[in-house]
């Protein structure tokens, strides 16, 4: 099974915050599994894509959800006529083919599911296919990355200690204003001045984190607002559509956000 569809051909835009590229490359060289921590929409996924492109490895991304079972990760027998055929799951493909395997929002997965990655993350570097009674040694290029949004932490949804401690962590946060504005301008294709304004709006909304909002507007959100604006939508309307309305349903919070948008214009 070829992993070519998982290769990234064009350079994904990424503007480094600090040392994260060097850190990631070092971890990759040592094949130390990496955990990317940071709020939603701050560029974790984009960073992995960029690094996969830079390192020339295929990238297998798995979005975790709470109904995901171990079989969804490693594979299962399927019926083919009268025969049963083993079909590798995405994780197994990555292990065999030497891809970077990216488990997005790992806390969403059930804890018993995440345990299957344990043998992959220590010196053994093997994947156990229990159903098939097979032990797959990982390809030497196989690399495991997970993302983890600390904002979600709760008694129900948190990583097991034993899982956490198998990873080296790189912290992410929203870029500082100037750089975030550059990212927004580049991604949305808008004027730097407008990008500045959008970043200002996003930063204002992030002040409400924990005071009416779970999370402020992410870089991704304001890039979307920027794209709407470049399609000819008015700034206020675009912000309403991409920022205010998706973030909250509370009338007071909405009203405060709207006033903040107006104050930024």
Partner 1 sequence: MSGEATNDAVRDERDPLENELSARPALLDGYLRARANAARVLGSEHIESWKSVSRSLYHLNAGPGVLEGLWSFESRALPRIDPATLPVLGEAVAELCRHAGARCAAKAVTGARDRVPHGGDPSEALEWLKLLAQLARRAPEALAPFLGSADMLLSRLALPDLAAWIEDGLRFHVRDRRRRIAYFRLDDPLAHRRLAVHEGRSRLSGHADRLALFARCLFDVELRCEALPAGPDDEAPLTRARLGAGRLLVPEGLQAPAGHEAKAFFEAMTAHAAAHLVFTRERFAIGKLKPLQIALTGLLEDARVERLAAARYPGLMRLWLSFHGVARPARTVQSLFARLSRGLLDPAFEVADGWVVKGRRLFEAAFAEDPHRQTLAREIADILGHDLGQMRIPFDAKAYRVEPSYRDDGIGLFDVPDDAETDPLDLMVEGARMTPEPEEGGSQLGAGEDAGRANASQAETSDLGAVVATLPEWDYRLNAEHPDFVTIRQATMDGGDPARLLTALDESRSVASRIHALLRRARIDRPVRLKRQMEGEEIDMEAVQDLVVSRRLGEVPDPRIYSTKQRRGRDLAVMLLLDTSQSTADPVGDGQKTVLDVASLAIAILGSEMEKLGDPFAVLSFASNGRENVRLGEVKAFDEMVDAMIPRLAGLRPGYSTRLGAAARHAADGLATRHNHRRVLIVVSDGEPSDVDVDDARYLGEDARRAVLNVRDRGLDVFCVALGDAADRAAAPIFGRRNTLAVRRITDLPERLAALYFRLTVS
Q: Contact residues for partner 1 (CB under 8 A)?
A: 67, 71, 76-79, 82, 84, 131, 200, 204-205, 207-208, 211-212, 251-253, 255-257, 259-260, 262-265
Shortest Å, Cβ 192 to partner 1:
16
- What distances in angstroms separate CA 146 from CA 33, 38, 51, 68, 186, one per listed residue? 8, 11, 14, 15, 27
Residue number with CB closer to partner 1 (23 or 71): 71
Residue number with CB closer to partner 1 (128 or 186): 128
Shortest Å, Cβ 5 to partner 1:
24
For residues 230 and 186, the answer to whether their CB atoms sit within 8 Å is no
For residues 25 and 168, the answer to whether their CB atoms sit within 8 Å is no
Region of residue 30 (phi > 0: left; psi between -120 and 50: alpha; otherwise: beta):
alpha
Shortest Å, Cβ 78 to partner 1:
8
Q: What is the DSSP string of 75-111?
A: EEEEEETTEEEEEE-HHHHHHHHTPEEEEETGGGS-H
Residue number with CB closer to partner 1 (191 or 207): 207
Q: Can you tell me the distance from the alpha carbon of 107 to that of 152, in angstroms, rounded to the nearest whole number? A: 8
Shortest Å, Cβ 77 to partner 1:
4
Residue number with CB closer to partner 1 (23 or 264): 264
Residue number with CB closer to partner 1 (51 or 243): 243
Shortest Å, Cβ 193 to partner 1:
11
């Amino acid at each position: 099974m070829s992993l070519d569809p998982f290769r990234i051909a064009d350079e994904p835009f990424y503007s480094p915050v600090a040392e994260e590229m060097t850190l990631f490359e070092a971890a990759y060289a040592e094949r130390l599994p990496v955990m990317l921590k940071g709020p939603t929409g701050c560029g974790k996924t984009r960073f992995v894509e960029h690094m996969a492109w830079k390192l020339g490895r295929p990238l297998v991304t798995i979005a975790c959800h709470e109904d995901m079972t171990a079989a969804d990760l490693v594979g299962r027998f399927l019926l083919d006529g009268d025969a049963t055929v083993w079909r590798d799951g995405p994780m197994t493909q990555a292990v065999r083919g030497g891809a970077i395997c990216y488990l997005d929002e790992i806390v969403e997965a059930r804890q018993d599911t995440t345990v299957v990655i344990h043998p992959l993350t220590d010196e053994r570097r093997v994947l156990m296919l229990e159903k098939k009674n097979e032990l797959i040694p990982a390809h030497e290029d196989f690399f495991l990355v997970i993302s983890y949004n600390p904002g979600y932490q709760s008694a129900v949804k948190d990583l097991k200690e034993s899982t956490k401690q198998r990873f080296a962590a790189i912290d992410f946060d929203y870029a500082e204003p100037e750089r975030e504005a550059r990212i927004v301008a580049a991604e949305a294709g808008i004027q730097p001045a407008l990008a500045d304004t959008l970043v200002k709006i996003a930063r204002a909304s992030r002040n409400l984190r924990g005071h009416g909002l779970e999370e402020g507007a992410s870089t991704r959100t304001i890039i979307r607002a920027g794209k709407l604006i470049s399609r000819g939508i008015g700034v206020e309307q675009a912000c309403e559509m991409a920022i205010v309305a998706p973030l909250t349903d509370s009338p007071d919070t909405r009203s405060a956000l709207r006033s903040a948008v107006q104050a930024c214009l």
